[in-house]
Structure 1
Amino acid sequence: MPTEQQTPQVDDSLRVVALEVADDLAELARVRAWADRLLQDLPEEQRVEALLVVDELASNALRHGSPPRQVRLLRKRNWLSVEVDDTCVDPACPRPPSAEGGHGLKLVAGMSVSWGQWQRPTGKTVWAELDLTGVASG
């Protein structure tokens, strides 16, 4: 069963919340609802953009990655990082757009300040950072 983990705050400025994601595309609705609940304090436009980033990264991990998978939101004042782990060692890379997809990482790049990935011997973490300047931090 998928589980949610919340890391104790190391200091008052950083909050990390993690969600284990089962190997099922139906999990995307649960991931979106989880992130939406955690980002309720954001203005509508920023929340929608952040949720789209969460959805695209989680969707890519479910479609192209390997389990186990985890989604993390790292938040501090004026900044949000979305991180998604999977155990596929193949790098995430934009594909040419088609009717079947290929738009996700381009959307992520357009909505984030930066995005990238960390490769590990056992998989990868794909991440995106969003600027929340002018928004009260949660």
Structure 2
Amino acid sequence: MVQLRTSSPPPQATELETWTLGAAADLRGLRASLREALTRYGLVQGEDLDEVLGLVALVATELATNALRHGLPPTIVTLLVTDECFILDVADHDVSTAPELDDAAPLDSGGRGLLLAESVSRAVAWYATPDTKNIWASFPRP
């Protein structure tokens, strides 16, 4: 197994919104609210709107699902922004483990969330605080 790169989000990132999730049932609301926030803050616009929103919602769902499944509740999803990108930061409260990039077999039902995030994001990394383990993914601002 390969470990994910360790790095905090850019220090100039500004927090825009935060969502707290307690169960997988909260993911649908997260996707809808995230799409609304990205549009409201003008982070995504133009003809690529649906594609970018879809990719961001997909990565948010994958990272939050991993946190809900493998971490300790609650899961906290934060939307941040810099001049160049916007960032999804997903935290859980299991600081005893480090995220790993799994080599999922073709017939496995899971294990591809971080790989997917890496393939469609500008950058993916993780960091820990005294209380949380955070994984973040960044996306260019169109």
After superposition, the CA RMSD in angstroms is 2.0
Taking the aligned partners of 1:57 and 1:87, their CA distance within structure 2 comes to 14
- Pick from 101, 105, 108: which aligns with 1:94? 101
Normalised by the length of structure 2, the TM-score is 0.76
Taking the aligned partners of 1:15 and 1:125, their CA distance within structure 2 comes to 14
Taking the aligned partners of 2:56 and 2:62, their CA distance within structure 1 comes to 10
Match of 1:5 in 2: none
- Pick from 79, 86, 92: which aligns with 2:85? 79
Over residues 41-60 of structure 1, what are the superposed CA-to-partner deviations in whole Å (9 max), with x where a residue is unaligned? 52111111111111111111
How far apart are 1:16 and its partner, in Å?
A: 1.7
Match of 2:123 in 1: 114
Normalised by the length of structure 1, the TM-score is 0.78
**Identical counterparts, % of pairs:** 29
Displaced runs of 4 or more, over 3 A: none
Unaligned 5+ runs, structure 1: 1-12
1:28 aligns with 2:21: no
Unaligned 5+ runs, structure 2: 1-12
How far apart are 1:62 and its partner, in Å?
A: 0.6
Q: What secondary structure is seen at the aligned counterpart in 1 of 2:88?
A: strand
How far apart are 1:15 and its partner, in Å?
A: 4.8
- Pick from 100, 108, 132: which aligns with 1:123? 132
Q: Is the 8 A contact 1:15 1:76 kept in 2?
A: no
Of structures 1 and 2, the one scoring higher in RCO (CA 8 A, sep 6+) is 2
**Equivalent residues, number:** 121
